[in-house]
Amino acid sequence: MSKIQVMDNNLANKIAAGEVVEKVMNVVKELVENSVDAKASTIKVELIDSGVKEIKVADDGVGMDKEDAILAFSRHATSKLKKLDDLFNINSLGFRGEALPSIASVSNIVLKTSDGKVGTIVTLNGGIIQDVKSCDIKKGTTITVTDLFYNTPVRLKYLKSLYTELANIVDYLNKMALSYPNIKFILINNGKELLNTSGSGDLLKTILNIYGLVVANKMLEIESSNDDYQIKGYISYPELSKSNRSGITLLVNNRVVKNNDIIKTILEAYHTYIFKDRSPYAVILIQVDPFLVDVNVHPTKMEVKFSKTDSLLALIYETIQNKLNEKTLIPKAVYTNVEDNYYLNKNDNYLINQNIFQKEKVNKELEDNKKIEEITFDFTIEEEKEEYHESLEEKEKFKEDSRIKDMYPIGIIHGTYIICENAQGMFIIDQHAAAERINYEKYYHALSCHSKNTIDVLIPYQIELPASEYLILEKNFAILDNLGFKYEEFGNNTLIIRSHPTWLPKYAPVEAIRKIIDIIVTNECFNEYKFNEKVAITLACKMSIKAGDVITMEDTRYLINELRKTKNPFTCPHGRPTIIAYTKYDLEKLFKRAA
């Protein structure tokens, strides 16, 4: 008997499902892409328990007749490729003919479809067709997937939490909505609406639906082309940035893709405009002859390869640079009122007119309310000096045990380096690195001690997030509770902060809160030590005085004294030196006074 045998279709489909269907989002992705390819104008996704229990995708596309409805679940059955040449000229999102049979092999499916002439319902269990019957002839297709991975328990066991699975789905549908602003996307989970775009074809309005008014009002439109590529979309003002890259959406011929080279080029174009560890918001649509791009790299079709890559990267870099260079990028004070902003978010449509925000109308409404918050960019060394209350004995012990001897500041060079001296010689202190070390240990101590001392804010702070990030934050509200924050949920994807820990910097509490939230939503595997470390380092780096900041000689004396109290006064949290010494002997050698 021959050892080599041809797999039966069910086994082959389950193997394919291992690549095509790794998580719930993959199922939603494949079904939604089929709806887009069916020329739907409205796509509605309804989930139960983040799709683990049920996924329902309904569209008003062209639908299928009875024969196609049955054939759709056959392996490598597709309407999108007819011959070999079509593989090099792909204009549809799907083309492999693997998705539906792969999904069906690890779930139960009910397909209801109609091409306007005949309606068909196909029921499958584990990839096996159980029943085929007629139904009404309302044009479109509805696919209901239940009990995902019921027959592959290992795959089911290793699904992420419901919040994580849902966040992945929201993030994907957000990007699809940006890719197809002419399609109305609706997402509902357990009866709660998470996304509802207008489908008007206005990309800026879609950005508003997804990211909110603050982001949409800080976007710059870009458009350019060369002989091979055409790009268009929106990029954010440098003042609007994130600590991760989730705000960057790349679309190739309306396909959501990942490409590290393009992301790196975008960040390089923002070089010197934003901090090196920050990323802008960007929605960039790349139009290219399908012959110049290969989307058949991986079954998920998220990775692509380009011909003439250098031409594309140069075009993106120059377009972003030119747009940033032509704009006045001075940050302005932001005036907000919680109630007004909530009203504006609920009544978006009148804010946009031919892709231009009616800023005068918004600003006038905001100015009418006297309760305003002004965001400034003046980071000074306003330390909480009351943090340390030492007895005379403790002070004397400090003088003896300090690993840095007392020194006296005599000047500042380039607004950055403090020159000091004592009997041992001359010392140069980096004011930013020193302040980082001081603040890092202060924040880390407060976090580790679980200090619950809080301060109420006169005017509550409003924090608005994309739905995908808010879902992760919602899962981790306990972290905010443990830190001592008092807050309320306000509308969709919005928090109102009523009080916060006293150790937050007094001069920029909102920015500090946003950084803490960024850390929470980008670190799914929560570890208290790593979390405290990350928060302390981030706040210390961003909330400390910077190179070039003007400080007084009194400030320098305070800075030196606090640096001497730290556990490790020699480096900042990133490992850069805080102080460099020139002994008296070193100076004498430099001036040839000693051999």
Number of domains into which the chain is organized = 4
Q: Look at residues 372, 402, 436 and tell me which one is the last residue of a structural domain.
A: 372
Domain that holds residue 123: 9-196
Is 378 inside any structural domain? no
Same domain, 300 and 415: no
For residues 573 and 265, give the distance between their C-alpha atoms in angstroms, rounded to a whole number: 28
The helix-helix angle for 553-565 and 431-448 (nearest 10°) equals: 50
- Bridging pattern class, strands 140-146 and 108-114: antiparallel
397 and 544: one domain?
Answer: yes
454 and 557 in a single domain? The answer is: yes
Note whether residue 204 is domain-resident. no
Q: Tens-of-pLDDT digits for all 595 residues of the chain?
A: 555 555 555 545 444 444 457 788 989 998 998 899 889 999 999 999 999 899 999 999 989 888 888 888 875 545 444 444 444 444 545 444 577 888 888 889 999 999 888 899 999 888 788 889 988 878 999 999 998 887 777 667 777 788 888 999 999 999 999 999 999 999 999 999 999 999 999 999 999 999 988 899 889 999 999 998 999 999 998 878 888 888 999 998 888 888 889 999 999 888 767 776 788 999 999 998 877 776 645 445 566 777 888 999 999 999 998 898 777 665 544 434 444 443 334 333 333 343 334 444 434 443 444 333 333 333 333 333 334 344 445 444 444 446 678 888 999 999 889 999 888 888 899 999 899 889 888 888 888 887 778 888 888 888 888 888 888 888 888 888 888 889 988 888 888 998 988 888 887 888 888 889 888 888 755 678 788 888 888 888 887 888 888 888 888 998 999 988 888 788 788 777 888 888 888 788 888 887 7
Q: Would 590 be classed as within a structural domain? A: no
Q: Is position 66 within any domain?
A: yes
Residues 321 and 267 placed together within one structural domain of the fold:
yes
What is the sign, positive or negative, of the torsion defined by CA atoms of 372, 375, 381, 383?
positive
Residues 337 and 321 in one domain: no
Q: What is the CATH number of the domain that holds 164?
A: 3.30.565.10
Domain match, 322 and 337 both:
no
Q: What is the CATH number of the domain that holds 283?
A: 3.30.230.10
Regarding whether 548 and 400 lie in a shared domain, the answer is yes
Contact 238, 270 (CB under 8 A): yes
Could you say which of 196, 226, 252 is where a domain stops?
Answer: 196
* 111 and 180 housed in the same domain: yes
Is 85 a domain residue?
yes
Residues 81 and 172 in one domain: yes
554 contact partners, CB below 8 Å, separation of at least 6: none
Regarding whether 264 and 353 lie in a shared domain, the answer is no
Q: How far is Cα 205 from Cα 353, in angstroms, rounded to an integer?
A: 10
Sequence-separated (6 or more) residues with CB below 8 Å from residue 522: 243, 244, 246
Q: Do 408 and 344 belong together in one domain?
A: no
- 145 & 54 share domain: yes
